[in-house]
Amino acid sequence: MNILLSGEFEASELHVWQQSLRAALPDAHWLGRDEALAVADTVEVAVVANPPPGSLRGLPKLRLIQSLWAGVDRLLLDPTLPAGAPIARMVDPAMNASMAETALWATLALHRGYFDYAQAQRRGLWQPRPQRRADSVAVLVLGLGQMGLTAAKRIAQQGYHVSGWSLRPRADAGDLDGIAAHAGQAALPDLLAQSNVVINLLPLTPATTGLLDARCFALMPRGAGLVNLARGAHVVDADLLAALDRSHLAHAVLDVFRTEPLPADHPYWSHPQVTLLPHVAAQTDPESASQVVAANVRALFEGRPLAHLVQVERGY
């Protein structure tokens, strides 16, 4: 079985992926783009990690495009993607768990003022502040999918009051481990107005691009915190900076940016109310992700349904 492996990999990273994928699918031959083109009629699967646009052109027999990334927004922007080939995204419980850890860390740090204490230390200030109970803190998770629901459950386990927001109403809304589930645009203003911490775990689609703007920030209570773990383009940066500068929002934790790496002169780098991470909220784990890939490739060749297919018309 010939499989194209294509993506934005550092050399050392590529080696790790090749080893894990070979171990998970010992019968497969993993090909680079030029090798794949040389045997184009035999390549039925492409495993991709944000490949450069055009990488899947010229492979007429593709029957599965398996992303190593959970978010497929960049992949879907490639106008040369072969029509008819199903796209599956990465869904890995190990990755969901990592995301939940990051979301919980940000929630705890915002709630208990740990980012401010870190600032105070750098300035040599001993400034204890009153402490709030977790059950008096309202957390809103935007997106109740793989990442959002896992994060919401993890945060709720610590005693926070957690709400979640999705596109469509959930059939299991009454039975979500104490998470109050809401759906649809009309529900959002009230949810924002009631939330001390807002965590973004939406996919980037035309409907969610720029969603986190001045109107959203104005609805959030004074002193609230924003945590963006999804995509940089969900946030209107100028609006966020304005909300932070007038201390309407107390702090933002940002893992993702419109341009990555974040340009050296970007105001986020030195803003005292911003804590930033270099897009590491939930990294794909090669070992477990390779097992996810192998399961889908086997399903394809054994004629079973493919898992985690992207609804291209919805954009996620």
Residue 15 annotated as catalytic: no
Residues 116-155 that bind ligand NAP (CB under 6 A): 143-148
- When CB distances to ligand GLV are compared, the closest residue is 71
Determine how β-strand 161-166 pairs with β-strand 43-49: unpaired
The binder of ligand NAP chosen from 38, 207, 238, 312 (CB under 6 A): 207
DSSP 203-263: ---TTTTT-BSHHHHHHSPTTEEEEE-S-GGGB-HHHHHHHHHTTSEEEEEE---SSSSPP
**Between residues 1 and 306, which has the closer beta carbon with respect to ligand NAP?**
306
Strand partners, 227: 199, 253
Q: Is 3 in the site for ligand NAP (CB under 6 A)?
A: no
Total residues binding ligand NAP (CB under 6 A) = 28
Strand partners, 88: 66, 309
**Between residues 188 and 282, which has the closer beta carbon with respect to ligand GLV?**
282
The one of ligand NAP, ligand GLV, none whose footprint includes residue 208, by CB under 5 to 8 A per kind, is ligand NAP
**Between residues 95 and 138, which has the closer beta carbon with respect to ligand GLV?**
95
CB of 69 to ligand GLV, least distance (A): 4
Sign of the Cα pseudo-torsion (18, 21, 23, 25, in order): negative
Q: Is 241 in the site for ligand NAP (CB under 6 A)?
A: no
CB of 233 to ligand GLV, least distance (A): 12
Residue 279 annotated as catalytic: yes
Q: Name the catalytic one among 231, 258, 308, 314.
A: 231
CB of 314 to ligand NAP, least distance (A): 7
Residues 61-100 that bind ligand NAP (CB under 6 A): 70-71
C-alpha 198/C-alpha 138 separation (Å) is 9
- Cis preceding-peptide flag for 203 (omega within 30 of 0): no
**Between residues 69 and 115, which has the closer beta carbon with respect to ligand NAP?**
69
**Between residues 180 and 230, which has the closer beta carbon with respect to ligand NAP?**
230
Q: Is 286 in the site for ligand NAP (CB under 6 A)?
A: no
The one of ligand GLV, ligand NAP, none whose footprint includes residue 56, by CB under 5 to 8 A per kind, is none
The one of ligand GLV, ligand NAP, none whose footprint includes residue 229, by CB under 5 to 8 A per kind, is ligand NAP
Q: Which residues bind ligand GLV (CB under 6 A)?
A: 69-71, 90, 284
Annotated catalytic residues are 231, 279
What residues line the site for ligand NAP (CB under 6 A)? Answer: 70-71, 143-148, 165-168, 201-205, 207-208, 229-231, 255-256, 279, 281-282, 316
